[in-house]
A and B are shown apart, each in its own frame.
Chain A
Amino acid sequence: MKKLKMFTTVLLVSLALILSACGTSKTSGDGEKKTLRVVTDAAYAPFEYQDKGEVVGFDIDFVKAVAKEAGYPVKVENVGWDPVFIEIEGKTADIAISAITITPKRLQTYDFTVPYFLSKNEILVPKGSPIKSAKDLEGKKIAVQNGTTGQEAVEKLFGENNDKLKKFENNNLAILELKKGGVDAVVADNTVVETYVKNNPNDNLVFIEDDGTFEKEFYGLLLPKGSKLKADLDKAVNKLLENGTYEKLYEKWFKIKPDIKILKEQQ
């Protein structure tokens, strides 16, 4: 009998824990604008990554500034790369910010705000590698993050789902694979690659630009198709681009000045 009681208590306590974990998020004050749920994949320094458990980065600062400008409170949550798209498609999140490139394919399923970032793919190789341009990647083993434009760029050059291409859960694992000698190169966004090289000089990795092969990409905030937030957020993004907030955040995270003109030209 005592055992049974014990068992029931444990069961009840764990049930209570589970329930309390679910019940917190959906409170909305009356009169106030509702808290927007922002999802991200925090494995993409310096855009979004975890600093001692807290999601931080350029994107996080930026989305918070945009939401503040538009007058919404936000709650940022790290969910992983693929779930970001599933949550937005299912409208369980309001905004995704995760260095997401605006592509025609994605525009079929989602909406984007006006672009807030310019990016291009670059190649990461060990020092002294014979790879000097995208052309040299032919026949070489390449690691990418699954579902990124880096993967698309490589597949455009050497065919979809070819044997030499290894798709990883995130760029950290792809770069780790390169360091451990499993692949010859990693193709990823310039800021990711350059920050890695700068922060890890002992790894003896270098980055290679190839503007002739890799197209320029623009990041936007990802929204569910037909989102009512788009007009508000577009206005807020433009405001930040104009009033110097964007430049300040950019310099804080990347230590270089942004090219705001090219972003405005894209609108």
Chain B
Amino acid sequence: MDFRWDLIVEYAPLFLKGTLLTIGLSVAGILIGAVLGLLIGLGKMMRKKLWALPFRWYINFFRGTPFMVQILLIHFAVVPAFLDTTNGILAAILALSLNSAAYVSEIFRAGIQSINRGQMEAARSLGMTHGQAMRYVILPQAFKRMIPPLGNEFIVLIKDSSLAALIAVPELMYWGRAMQGQYMRAWEPYLTATVIYLVLTLSLSSLLSLLEKRLATE
């Protein structure tokens, strides 16, 4: 097999630009998704069933429909309805963060509910309010348990960001496809993209295991 290194060299600046955008999209998606996810997770745990209903359905919708459908819907229908024009980067960030918020909210809920009820009772009997007990006792313990599943979700998010190529957002996969379209070759563009995605996801998982070690108490 002949492998055309020169094509990769030619496309290297574009791959670099694309990688930076992929990182940007992913970071934005992770941050917005995490904040939104926390709020939605707390919303779903509300005692009043009726109030929790919209949150429950938010999760049902974003978890129950393919990301590809969501990104096309947001890019070609939702964003134009508000802006009167399309905006690929905005649509990609919206789709990524709204989608990941659904998964993150369930991770938060699971983390919080995994803490023994006795912890809350003990904190309350020491005179803490419900909020204080959450802030100082439950959440710090829950957070530690959430890191592995959160890491999972964020890695999925980085990979999902490649679907932004569908709506011509010039991220990593977009340039891989552009290169494939120009030279009609499969190995060079897709293998390059593979390696870069792998580097991105591996860096993220090592960052997360570092954080895990930092927070370890035993």
Contact = CB atoms under 8 A, between A and B. Distances in A.
A109 B187 CA distance: 14
Contacts of A173: 76, 166-168
B87 interface: yes
Given A176-B76, A180-B76, A181-B85, A109 B181 contact: no
Interface in A107-130: 109
A85 B168 contact: no
A82 B166 CA distance: 13
Nearest to B177: A146
B104 interface: no
Given A176-B76, A177-B86, A181-B86, A161 B178 contact: yes
Contact of A168 (B168, B180, B186): B168
Interface string A215-257: 0000000000000000000000000000000000000000000
A180 B80 contact: yes
Task: Determine the interface band of chain A, counting residues with CB < 8 A from chain B.
Answer: 20 to 34
* B88, B174, B180, B182 — most chain A CB neighbours (10 Å): B182
Contact of B87 (A89, A106, A151, A182): A182
A85 B85 contact: no
A179 to B, nearest CB: 9
Contacts, number: 57
Contacts of A151: 181
Contacts of B88: 166, 182
B218 interface: no
Contacts of B6: none
B180 A147 contact: yes
Contacts of A106: 184
Given A168-B168, A180-B76, A181-B80, A146 B181 contact: yes
Interface residues of B, number: 21
B59 interface: no
A110 B184 CA distance: 10
Interface of chain B: mostly helix, strand, loop or mixed: helix
Nearest to A109: B184
A161 B14 contact: yes
A64 interface: no
B217 to A, nearest CB: 36
B109 to A, nearest CB: 26
A143 interface: yes
B180 A82 contact: yes
A169 interface: yes
Interface string B51-62: 000000000000
A167 B168 contact: yes
Nearest to B86: A182
Contacts of B175: 161
Given A168-B166, A168-B168, 18 more contacts: A82-B180, A89-B186, A105-B184, A146-B181, A147-B182, A148-B181, A151-B181, A161-B14, A161-B175, A161-B178, A166-B88, A166-B168, A173-B167, A180-B80, A180-B85, A180-B86, A181-B80, A181-B85
6 contacts: A151-B181, A161-B178, A166-B88, A173-B76, A181-B86, A182-B87
Interface of B: 14, 76, 80, 84-88, 165-168, 174-175, 177-178, 180-182, 184, 186
